[in-house]
Amino acid sequence: MKTVYKWLISTAVVFGLSACDEVQTPDIDEMLTSDESADNAGDALQISDIKFSDDNKEMYLSARLLHDIGDYDIMDSTHVVIKPHQQIQMLPGKFGDEIQPVITKIKNPSREVLKNMDLKLLIMVDLSLPQHQVDAELHAVRDINTLLGQQGVYIAFMQGENVSETYEASDYVIDHYFVHHDPSYTYLYRSILTKLDEFMDPQTTIGNAHRKVLVVMSGGKTYENDLPVDPQHFAIQQQLTNKTTELKNKLCAYYVNFSANTQSDNDLMALTEDTDDSNIMQFFCKDLGGIYQPTFNWQEMETDMMSDFNIDPAKYEITLENPDGKIYRGTLHKLEIGLYDKKTNDLVAKGTTTFTLGTIYNPVIIHDETMIQIITGGIVLLIIVFLLAWLILQFIEPFIRYQLFKRKHVISYSGSKMSVNGLEVAESCYLCKAPFETGDEIVVKCKHTMHKACWDENEYHCPEHGRHCKEGSHYYNKHNLLDGSNPLYLMKWVLVAIISAFVAWCVFINQDYAQSKSLIQSIHSFYHELTSTTDEKGSLSFVYGSYLSDLPAFGQTVGFMITFFLSFFTVRRRKWLLRLSEMVLRAFLAGLAGCLSCLFGCMVAVILHIETNTFLIDWIPWLLLSIVIMLAVTIKTRTPIRRTFFVASCSIALLSMLMWGFIFFNNTLNYRLSLLIGFIVYAVAIAICIARETPRSERYFLHVEGAIKEMDIALYKWLRNETDRVVTIGKSVDCSIQLSWDINGKAAPVQAEIKKYKNSLRLTALEEGVIVNNKPLEPGKETWLYHGKKFTIGNTTFTYIEKDIS
């Protein structure tokens, strides 16, 4: 008995110490890698949103480039590598590597949106500029073309007094039309006005678009020798101004001064701006929601266009794929997306986000097995564990015990005056009375030395085995190894506990945790309502909620199932329906109390602000749960409630916690099957603790006091082999126990009878006059006999005594 506890406690302590050791000395290297690197690339990428597909296989990230990363383009897979790095939080602030997801897709939705947008963009190109500037215009057109992929881009050429018709920006046009022409001036305003009219006419190619953009590329020269180039300059300028007002919000315009490109000198630039009408064009662009560019800057223009269209060009959508079988247990995960130069492997940009998924008791497993596969796996494991336990308890353990018994207590007789452990060995067999001969195999387990053959014949115990000879027994039927008395009485408890764990496991993994979840969340928010006013409530609630939400369901299921199955041994009722009802009632109460104990554990976690690694305090609900189960199984039964239950519960809880921790951090284990093993260990440990305290009436006596000398009547001798036999008590000579000594007492010929039912005895009154607990037991009524129970017939008091076999 004590050795089991000692073993449990010492194992728990050893495990505990080794676990603590691990916890207190974190790997320095790992600590360093978890630190944020301080380089500029660190915050270039902002990951704002993380979403999961329904099966959690795919993760969708919304990432945004916060600042320029030079020539690198996220979409350019020939120069850039994007790598995910996912880590799991082991302890607050400490992250460890885990199985990595794979990036399957990177998308820049802005380009998609633009392509799908009904957009027409007209570029007006000034061919009156010198050829090198026309070439510069050509480059700019090519840049703009990348945005829409030619679709929706149009070109018109300005030259002299004319503006050309509107061409599609085809490769042919781009390759052949960008040639300087004389004269070297343009009627800029007039040309723009013409095209604006075209934009407003829904009959034209560019007029029927939903969104319209005009980009004017020109030298901007509207004056020649202080005289306007266009004779109608002022009238046209006025028209243009009017038109601009009219077109507000209908068109977006940009102007790029290409003559300024070549004039690096500031004075010249100022001069140019003075002599041309850059002011007019600046107002023009400003009014039409575009920009005036003294030099071409595509990035600036693109960004401005995108923001006009409410598109974020720096936003990317990254799709990652989780490997099958990956487990998320509600712990904090850190996902870092790093952009690396393909050649040098230098970090260009990175972004980090954190998330949680699943819960510790109900994890998310990527592409998990189907429920049928899981249950099948569980059944296979159950059969293996069950058979293993049965083999060990039925054959191996009794065999080993028998070998130890033989080595210690079976010796060869070596002649008279032989002594064992300082005691002289008798010279003849206690049972058959024949004198021992040298070489005889004798049993010296008690002072009643016997032939081994006589011992076996007498059912493996000495004839005096009972109240006055406690040692004289060691049951081992080697002729029939299936003999139910060979294994320890614990066997049936262990086997039933294994089954109860399996059933609890099946129910638990099939459960819907919604109620449990909302309960925890409301407790959490209620608590924080009382204690804090900060807005961290929401996020914290999520963390705790996802972490602890399944705990009450766990307590309820485990409490109910283990109690139901184990109370099969403690609940004694003759009618099976009554017995079943009582078992269900006990189980129900245990489920309720189990749920409450787990809730209590959750509250402790919330109050102590334990956000991660709640398994470290999980021993509290487990401890309470095991106590609840032990009480529910034993209360108001023959099994006394012992203080050892509490000690044992502590050990069980610690042991389970350590096992849980092991499962938790081990990614290679099959999570659900490990969980089943965890359930089994828990249930078996509880079963053994209760079984230890449950009386095993293999040696039961009636202690008689009254008109005769006190004595013990060995009831078990009547009932040991003939279980259906009835022991009768009365004055008649036919009674098993004849009250011949009680001459004056009032006793009927057959007053009462004792029957064996399973492993317990029942006393039934047949006539009036049987007093139990100072109350008369009515004829026909019966009562269970348990250790220490007294009843009186006439002047004789009987005490029922059970003596366990040691």
Give the binding site for Zn ion (CB under 5 A): 429, 431-432, 446, 448, 451, 454, 462, 464, 469, 472
The DSSP element (H or E) to which 560 belongs, if any, is helix 551-570
Minimum distance from residue 803 beta carbon to Zn ion (Å): 13
Minimum distance from residue 432 beta carbon to Zn ion (Å): 3
Minimum distance from residue 469 beta carbon to Zn ion (Å): 3
Minimum distance from residue 700 beta carbon to Zn ion (Å): 18
CA angle 37, 42, 46 (to 5 degrees): 140
- Lookup result for tokens 């009987």: 798
Q: Which is nearer to Zn ion, 466 or 661 (CB)?
A: 466
Indicate the residue type of 493. W
Residue 348's nearest CA partner among 356, 358, 338 is 338
Minimum distance from residue 736 beta carbon to Zn ion (Å): 24
Minimum distance from residue 11 beta carbon to Zn ion (Å): 36
Q: Which is nearer to Zn ion, 444 or 686 (CB)?
A: 444
Q: Which is nearer to Zn ion, 72 or 455 (CB)?
A: 455
- Lookup result for tokens 């002299």: 160
Q: Residue 539: exposed, middle, or buried by beta-carbon count in 10 A (0-12, 13-18, 19+)?
A: exposed
Count of other CB atoms within 10 angstroms of residue 636? 10
| Token output for 321 | 């794929």
Q: Which is nearer to Zn ion, 351 or 472 (CB)?
A: 472
Q: Which is nearer to Zn ion, 444 or 683 (CB)?
A: 444
Q: What are the residues whose beta carbons fall under 8 Å from the beta carbon of 645, sequence distance 6 or more?
A: 627, 630, 631, 689, 690, 693
Q: Which is nearer to Zn ion, 462 or 702 (CB)?
A: 462
Minimum distance from residue 434 beta carbon to Zn ion (Å): 6
Minimum distance from residue 725 beta carbon to Zn ion (Å): 24
The CA distance from 216 to 125, in Å, is: 7
Determine the 3-state secondary structure of 712 from DSSP: strand
| Residue 446 contacts residue 782 (beta carbons within 8 Å) | no
Minimum distance from residue 409 beta carbon to Zn ion (Å): 11
| Residue 597 contacts residue 555 (beta carbons within 8 Å) | yes
| Token output for 317 | 């959508």
Q: Which is nearer to Zn ion, 428 or 531 (CB)?
A: 428
- DSSP symbol at 614: G
Minimum distance from residue 451 beta carbon to Zn ion (Å): 3
Q: What is the SS3 string spanning 497-512?
A: HHHHHHHHHHHHHCCC
Asked whether the bond before 749 is cis by omega within 30 degrees of 0, the reply is no
Q: At what angle do helices 671-693 and 619-634 cross, to 10 degrees?
A: 40
| Residue 187 contacts residue 131 (beta carbons within 8 Å) | no
CB-facing half-sphere around the CA of 549: CA atoms within 13 A: 25
Q: Which is nearer to Zn ion, 449 or 557 (CB)?
A: 449
CA 348 to chain centre: 35
Strand pairing report for 153-159 and 119-126: parallel
Minimum distance from residue 716 beta carbon to Zn ion (Å): 15
Q: Which is nearer to Zn ion, 446 or 561 (CB)?
A: 446
Q: Note the residue count of the chain.
A: 806
The CA distance from 785 to 802, in Å, is: 10
| Token output for 370 | 């189907």
Q: Which is nearer to Zn ion, 80 or 429 (CB)?
A: 429
Minimum distance from residue 761 beta carbon to Zn ion (Å): 24
Minimum distance from residue 806 beta carbon to Zn ion (Å): 13
Minimum distance from residue 457 beta carbon to Zn ion (Å): 8
Detail the DSSP E strand segments found in 285-346: 292-293, 315-321, 327-328, 333-341
Q: Give Rg (Cα) of the chain.
A: 46
Minimum distance from residue 511 beta carbon to Zn ion (Å): 55
Determine the 3-state secondary structure of 550 from DSSP: coil
Q: Which is nearer to Zn ion, 355 or 476 (CB)?
A: 476
Q: Which is nearer to Zn ion, 220 or 466 (CB)?
A: 466
- Lookup result for tokens 């010929």: 749
Q: Which is nearer to Zn ion, 457 or 710 (CB)?
A: 457
Indicate the residue type of 477. N
| Residue 220 contacts residue 187 (beta carbons within 8 Å) | no
Minimum distance from residue 714 beta carbon to Zn ion (Å): 13
Q: Which is nearer to Zn ion, 361 or 460 (CB)?
A: 460
| Residue 248 contacts residue 283 (beta carbons within 8 Å) | no
Q: What are the residues whose beta carbons fall under 8 Å from the beta carbon of 6, sequence distance 6 or more?
A: none
Minimum distance from residue 554 beta carbon to Zn ion (Å): 50
Q: Which is nearer to Zn ion, 446 or 593 (CB)?
A: 446
The CA distance from 336 to 332, in Å, is: 13
Q: Which is nearer to Zn ion, 305 or 443 (CB)?
A: 443
Secondary structure (DSSP) of 652-705? HHHHHHHHHHHHHH-TTS-HHHHHHHHHHHHHHHHHHHHHHHS--TTSEEEEEE
Minimum distance from residue 480 beta carbon to Zn ion (Å): 22
| Residue 124 contacts residue 215 (beta carbons within 8 Å) | yes
Residue 472's nearest CA partner among 720, 721, 693, 699 is 699
Q: Which is nearer to Zn ion, 265 or 457 (CB)?
A: 457
Helices (H), 459-550: 490-509, 514-531, 537-548
